[in-house]
Amino acid sequence: MVLADTVTDKRRLYGRKQTRPPKGERKEALECLLPRLEIKLPPHPSSPAAQTPSPPWGEGWGEGGEGGEGGEKWLEIGFGNGEHLKGLMERHPGRFYIGAEPFINGMAAFLRSIKDVPHDNIRVWMDDAIILADAMPDEYLDGIYILNPDPWPKTRHHKRRIVSQGNLTKFARILKPGGALIMSSDVDDLSEWMVTQASNHPAFEWTAERAGDWHTPPPDWIKTRYETKGADAGRKQTYLVFRKKENAE
Ligand SMILES: C[S@@+](CC[C@H](N)C(=O)[O-])C[C@H]1O[C@@H](n2cnc3c(N)ncnc32)[C@H](O)[C@@H]1O
């Protein structure tokens, strides 16, 4: 695949990227697996490194794939400790997955968790997912997951929410026609925000058929620890499944 030539739109990433640095097995997994699995965007064309470009995902990655789902490519934005992403990799070995998580401890926990299982179908990005989205080709992905994104509850911080009209336009560009945008949250205000943003966007349509669908997890759902803790505390999870319209411009 070919990524955009340059990455110019370096936006500000809010929130913490690191608290205490990972130690022990997590540190080892980070040192061993991150260099192998991390996506490397192309250097600026004017830099010396641009003379010897190498594929950002590694040679041949994302091509072929076995069975009916063979070759599908899915992106999970903000995977936290990566339980959901690991579950997807195990359930769908014929698909290719890309996980974006800027928080180093989350990345280390995820890499530690996949150390001893097959992980040829995964690539990771340890920064703002929007930078990666901007560098992807048109109609590249079969689906995007955004699970429990940061809620940014204060009104003056709503512009930091990852689901916005501007970002939905970016997601629509990199999704194939009919591609899925699957979001979830246990914060009512954020769930309403995400439904409104995606429903108002011309490229997306909501797949819900009846009231109450948004409290029913899609088939084959993988719960994260975050979701389980929220449910134990009495919070209700909302599941929002949108599709990119077949005729979206
Ligand atoms: C509330 S946590 C949810 C983690 C996980 N999805 C889950 O459901 O357990 C939100 C995650 O999104 C990540 N995040 C925030 N902004 C992001 C961005 N612009 N790109 C990628 N990840 C982001 C945070 O680092 C954090 O791990």
| pLDDT tens-digit map of 117-127 | 988 899 999 99
Residue 165 is predicted with a pLDDT of 98
Residue 21 is predicted with a pLDDT of 86
Structure tokens, 94:
């014929």
**138 catalytic per annotation:** no
Counting every residue, how long is the chain?
249
Residue 17 is predicted with a pLDDT of 54
Nearest residue CA, atom 9 of ligand 1?
A: 226
Atom of ligand 1 nearest to the CA of 145: 6
Asked whether residue 105 carries a pLDDT value surpassing 50, the answer given is: yes
Structure tokens, 86:
């690991």
Asked whether residue 115 carries a pLDDT value surpassing 70, the answer given is: yes
For the chain, list the domains and their CATH numbers. 33-39+65-244 (3.40.50.150)
> What single DSSP character describes residue 126?
-
Report DSSP letters for 17-29, one per residue.
S-SSPP-HHHHHH
**Rounded CA separation 123/135 (Å):** 15
> What confidence tier does 185 reach under pLDDT thresholds 50, 70, 90?
very high
**Rounded CA separation 169/80 (Å):** 24
Atom of ligand 1 nearest to the CA of 224: 9
- Residue partners of 228: CB distance under 8 A and separation at least 6: none
| pLDDT tens-digit map of 33-82 | 999 999 988 767 776 666 666 667 776 778 766 555 678 999 999 999 99
Backbone angles phi, psi at 9, to 5 degrees: -90, 70
Of 8-17, 84-93, 204-213, 219-228, the one with minimum mean pLDDT is 8-17
> What confidence tier does 3 reach under pLDDT thresholds 50, 70, 90?
low
Residue 65 is predicted with a pLDDT of 63
Cα separations (Å) of 89 from 11, 34, 97, 114, 209?
A: 30, 17, 7, 9, 28
Question: To test the ligand 1 pocket, which listed residue (75, 162, 238) has its Cβ within 8 A of the most ligand atoms?
Answer: 162
Give me the catalytic one of 9, 120, 127, 150.
150
**Pick from 223, 239, 230: which is nearest to 87 by CA?**
223
> What confidence tier does 5 reach under pLDDT thresholds 50, 70, 90?
very low
Asked whether residue 188 carries a pLDDT value surpassing 90, the answer given is: yes
CB-defined site of ligand 1, < 6 Å: 13, 15, 77-80, 100-103, 106, 128-130, 147-150, 162, 224, 226
Question: To test the ligand 1 pocket, which listed residue (88, 124, 148) has its Cβ within 8 A of the most ligand atoms?
Answer: 148
Distance 247 CA to ligand 1 centre (A): 30
* pTM, 2 dp: 0.91
Q: What mean pLDDT is predicted for residues 6-29?
A: 69
Distance 51 CA to ligand 1 centre (A): 35
Distance 198 CA to ligand 1 centre (A): 19
Q: What mean pLDDT is predicted for residues 140-160?
A: 96
Distance 46 CA to ligand 1 centre (A): 33
Asked whether residue 169 carries a pLDDT value surpassing 90, the answer given is: yes
Q: What mean pLDDT is predicted for residues 145-169?
A: 97
